[in-house]
Structure 1
Amino acid sequence: MPLSTHSSDKATGLDAATLRAWLGAKAVELGFDDLRITDTALGDASQKLQEWLAAGRHGHMDYMERHAELRSNPALLVPGVLRVICVSMNYLSLDVDFDSELQGLENPTKASISLYARGRDYHKVLRTRLQEFAKAIEEKIGRFGYRVFTDSAPLMEVELARKAGLGWRGKHTLLLNRESGSTFFLGEILVDIPLPVDEPQEAHCGTCQSCIDICPTGAITAPYELDARRCISYLTIENPETIPLEFRRAIGNRVYGCDDCQLICPWNKFAKRSSLPDFAQRHGLGQATLLQLWSWTESEFNQRHEGSAIRRIGYARWRRNLAVGLGNALASPKISTEDKQLIRHALENAIASADPLVAEHIDWALSDNTSTVSKD
């Protein structure tokens, strides 16, 4: 709904404390885990974004540069906005164990899929509930101007959530919360209502740098600084081209995203579980082997990932990532000769029908390439 220049007048007459309490309770009723409110001023975050872009650390994510001005000023994105209602929703399914996930990274034949992507596409889940929330607010206070977002537009949502008090920026640049770690999604409703704002949280990372030390590719170049071009999540999801040779061994068996910095973070001892069926793993993605996923045809990929964030990368990138994982399995001393023969046979059988992107990574997987990444 377009933001109105008059709707805020109606909300002004309401008791702010009562409305704020109602918003928090309604958010929980709709399945969100926390709610905080902030204004639209982004301070020095806009300048830091410009410096990050100027250094080219966004890689192929050209959309970030194209819409940098909009990201820096929500009022340009949504004229008339006064406040941002920020919400979080935990996504960690009941069956996830962090120690088991870390152990799985040491099993060369197993496929590692980022935790957030094993269920339904969070964009759809949050957007539906945010729209429902906005309608409920309208029923409470009358017609007002709003627009909902969930990683769906050029909005600095992590910075807004930090400023609103949903958490603090960890050294890995993700948002952290003392009660729920970092395993939650963010959503926003930009409104033209002058709601009271909340205070930011104090940071609690201290001297810990576990996330920096564990990063396989050295993507966290310094505390609070990320080079997306080195990040496995970027390389396996956002990157549309070949995966640079120097990072392939470090990727290991990670075929969609990377959770290492979250799995090792001490604050995720407090990560809350979600009982929402939407976030439960589908098609055995938490236990699947690389060969099982490699066996999927394109139609099986599209059918099994229907309604999933994974489907957005397409079949070619999916196969590209799997080929890297299978190549790393072939190079590993941990698996049997029989398993290596099965992998080699599967890769060789796929060459003839592979598109150029996938074929290049199959050729690498079948080679004796032993290059490794340097974190320097």
Structure 2
Amino acid sequence: MNKHHASKWIKQRSRELGFSRIGIAKAEELTEEKKQLREWLNRGYHGEMSYMENYFEKRTDPTLLVEGTKSIIVLTYNYHNPAPRHPDSYKISQYAYGKDYHWVMKEKLKTLLADIDREIAPTSGRVFVDSAPVMESEWAQRAGVGWQGKNTLIIHPKAGSYFFLGEVLVDIELAYDQPIQDYCGTCRRCIDACPTDAIDENGYLLDGSKCISFSTIEKKGPIPETFEGKMEDWIFGCDICQEVCPWNRFSTPHDEPAFDPHPDLLSLSKEEWQNLSRERFQELFRKSPVKRTKYEGLKRNIEFIAERESTSETF
């Protein structure tokens, strides 16, 4: 099978497995991106995410991460769930509604890799889902599955940005796709809507230490007082920059049962969140990404917002 037929076959098989969009990029060192990453780290924009400093060379050169890599297959998987929430409730990011995406996608990617090995050529490839030093956004752009928006998320003109990214690194040469145009234009809705000013005034640069998602998930210890009055009821993650993005009017609901929320999750009131027990937490978030912040972390986030709401009401 030549590289063009092989690439076509891979894309068709990927769609059968539930992936929305598939692009392929040539594996090579990310020279310009390497400079940008170094500058981002030097500015301290990674906050307490010290793991971003690890494996720097492998992070910017996939041929060092997986020896012999020639092609990077980038795939998107829709998670958009526009189901209405309780009108007076706290918020968690849509991506965390259901089962942990790492496990859902990784199994599908492993199936794809096994199929490539069987149908196209034996390969010593590996699969990745946000769990290794792979610069996903950069490869997504190179593979043409979207452009990096001013909020730094990958956006597709026909699908918005509510999707996960996954990669398959293989040691076979394939037909490579081209990047697509940046359609953000003069729009700055995400920049203006971010309550913590985490997005640079000119866009395309995010100070992770100011991001609500960072403070509610990655942050260890107390949430800084600089976030007071700016959380907008987000207790795990934040979707504000996606909610205001005009391109997300083209987002469609996902069709992955594993991403459906627990039947009670979206109906919880603020009072029920505040009284959340450890047992109830385990029930609601079994196999969920929310487990990452643990019960104590989620309670910390809820209490940070609730205490300040109570104080403001007093005055």
Name the CA distance, whole Å, in 2 between partners of 1:215 and 1:188. Answer: 29
Name the CA distance, whole Å, in 1 between partners of 2:287 and 2:97. Answer: 11
Name the CA distance, whole Å, in 2 between partners of 1:112 and 1:280. Answer: 16
- Post-superposition shift, 1:63? 0.5
Number of the residue aligned with 2:38:
50
Name the CA distance, whole Å, in 1 between partners of 2:232 and 2:223. Answer: 13
Task: State the SS of the aligned residue for 1:197.
Answer: coil
Is 2:90 aligned against 1:90?
no
Is 2:169 aligned against 1:190?
yes
Number of the residue aligned with 1:357:
none
Number of the residue aligned with 1:273:
253
Is 2:239 aligned against 1:259?
yes
Number of the residue aligned with 1:290:
270
Deviations 1:120-150 (A, max 9, x none): 1100110010001111111202421100000
Contact 1:164 1:200 in 2 (8 A): yes
Is 2:50 aligned against 1:62?
yes
- Post-superposition shift, 1:284? 2.8
Count of matched residue pairs: 313
Number of the residue aligned with 2:280:
300
Number of the residue aligned with 2:3:
16
Question: Which structure 2 segments of 5+ residues have no match?
Answer: none
Is 2:17 aligned against 1:38?
no
Number of the residue aligned with 1:119:
98
Name the CA distance, whole Å, in 1 between partners of 2:144 and 2:211. Answer: 27
Deviations 1:276-321 (A, max 9, x none): 1111122433332232123232233233311100011111111100
- Post-superposition shift, 1:331? 4.2
Deviations 1:217-269 (A, max 9, x none): 00002310100111000000011121110112101311001100000000000
Number of the residue aligned with 1:164:
143
Is 2:127 aligned against 1:148?
yes
- Given residue 20 of structure 1, which amino acid in structure 2 is its aligned partner? S
Question: How many percent identity over aligned positions?
Answer: 37
Question: Which structure 1 segments of 5+ residues have no match?
Answer: 1-13, 334-367, 371-376
Contact 1:290 1:325 in 2 (8 A): no
Name the CA distance, whole Å, in 2 between partners of 1:18 and 1:226. Answer: 39
Is 2:16 aligned against 1:29?
yes
Residues 188 and 271 of structure 1: CA distance in aligned 2, closer, same or farther (over 3 Å): same
Q: Kindly report structure 1 stretches of 4+ aligned residues shifted beyond 6 Å.
A: none
Task: State the SS of the aligned residue for 2:24.
Answer: strand
TM-score relative to the length of structure 2: 0.95
Larger Rg: 1
Contact 2:3 2:173 in 1 (8 A): no
- Post-superposition shift, 1:332? 5.3
Is 2:115 aligned against 1:136?
yes
Of 67, 71, 75, 2:59 maps to 71
Contact 1:176 1:267 in 2 (8 A): yes
Contact 1:111 1:287 in 2 (8 A): no
The within-5 A match list for 1:346-361 is none
Name the CA distance, whole Å, in 1 between partners of 2:110 and 2:65. Answer: 18
- Given residue 112 of structure 1, which amino acid in structure 2 is its aligned partner? K
